[in-house]
Structure 1
Amino acid sequence: MSKEHTYRIHTVWTGASQGSTSSYDAYSREYTINIEGKPPFLGSADPTFRGDAALYNPENLLVMSLSACHMLSYLALCARAAIRVISYSDEATGTMTQKDGKIRFTEVILRPKVTIEAGNDLEKARSLHDNAHHVCYIANSVNFPVLNEATVIEMNASEVNN
């Protein structure tokens, strides 16, 4: 596998069709991101910054990226360790505030809830969250803490949907 990966996107400010940036209050924050071979992605600014609350914003995307990267890293590590994960969910939160004269993220807390198949190594499954954090590309790329408050339980696969 190559050590360098390039990701290309094309971002277009679609809000321009509603008028120019004649004033801070007057322009639309809507945009479309196009990625070859994928459906267009519609976004806006956070409502705090006069965006559309019905659309995803960059702050959502950052927290989503951290949550998804951790999950995918964790699932890969479990698969390699022969730990059978039968359910995974996360209630992640990100905090953004003024720090050092700039508005920035100060932390993201991931709260994965994982169920593994009964009879698997529960302690190993718990410890793999630390490993997943260290191999998550997105967490390795940010300059704020990404905390992990994972819960891992065992259950028979037949009990998961009950």
Structure 2
Amino acid sequence: MKSHHYSITVEWTGNDGAGTRSYSAYRRDHRVEARGKPPIPASSDPAFRGDGARYNPEELLVASLSSCHMLWYLHLCSVNGISVIAYRDVAAGVMREADDGGGAFQSVVLKPIVTIASGNDRQKAIDLHTDAHHMCFIAQSVRFPVSTVAEIIVSSS
């Protein structure tokens, strides 16, 4: 079995001079970086005193699930003779906060809208979403349900 290793640097950038002296004394801003790639400006969700103009960890988790599914789906389509010409997912996740302030994701729903070339097998294109879900490393690593509600459009040209 192959192993793959990933290294990310997360650096807090929200110290306004007083550190974490109090709950309201610091910003939740931070930067996510990987060598040779542009940084991702991040913060906590605005519900937790974060900056809504930056990505938060919850959004990045949903994005990771969506991206992983899409990449597997495109691969599976390419090796199964399905020509995808457009793919867009508007994914949504639900996280519930516990009384003690902790919490967990309850579910994520992927909603890809996929356009395939005219003459391609629409049913096969639908079925490959199930295969993509089973192959997605991220979906197979989380402990909450990830479902897919796909729409397949057959191009008229």
- TM-score in terms of structure 2 length: 0.94
1:107, 1:145 within 8 Å by CA — same for their partners in 2?
Answer: yes
CA RMSD in angstroms, aligned pairs only: 1.5
Distance 1:99 1:144 in 2: 16
Q: Assess, with a 3 A threshold, how the Cα gap between structure 1 residues 111 and 25 changes in structure 2: closer, same or farther.
A: same
Q: CA deviation at 1:153?
A: 2.0
Say whether 1:5 aligns with 2:8. no
Q: Tell me the residue number matched to 1:152.
A: 152
Amino acid in the other structure paired with 1:144 = F
Distance 2:54 2:17 in 1: 17
1:18, 1:28 within 8 Å by CA — same for their partners in 2?
Answer: no
1:19, 1:28 within 8 Å by CA — same for their partners in 2?
Answer: no
Q: Tell me the residue number matched to 2:124.
A: 124
Distance 2:67 2:5 in 1: 19
Q: CA deviation at 1:24?
A: 1.1
In the alignment, structure 2 segments of 5+ residues that lack a partner are none
Q: What secondary structure does 1:15 align onto?
A: coil
2:16, 2:26 within 8 Å by CA — same for their partners in 1?
Answer: no
Q: Tell me the residue number matched to 1:104.
A: 104
Q: Assess, with a 3 A threshold, how the Cα gap between structure 1 residues 65 and 6 changes in structure 2: closer, same or farther.
A: same
Amino acid in the other structure paired with 1:35 = A
Residues 103-141 of structure 1 show CA distances to partners (whole Å, capped at 9, x for unaligned) of 110000000111111111111111000000000011011
Please show how residues 70-85 of structure 1 align to structure 2 within 5 Å. 70-85=69-84
Q: Would you tell me which structure has more helix in proportion to its own residues?
A: 1
Distance 1:73 1:100 in 2: 37
Amino acid in the other structure paired with 1:92 = A
Q: CA deviation at 1:17?
A: 4.2
Q: How many residues align?
A: 156
- TM-score in terms of structure 1 length: 0.91
Q: CA deviation at 1:96?
A: 0.4
Q: How much identity, in percent, do the aligned residues show?
A: 51
Q: What secondary structure does 1:16 align onto?
A: coil
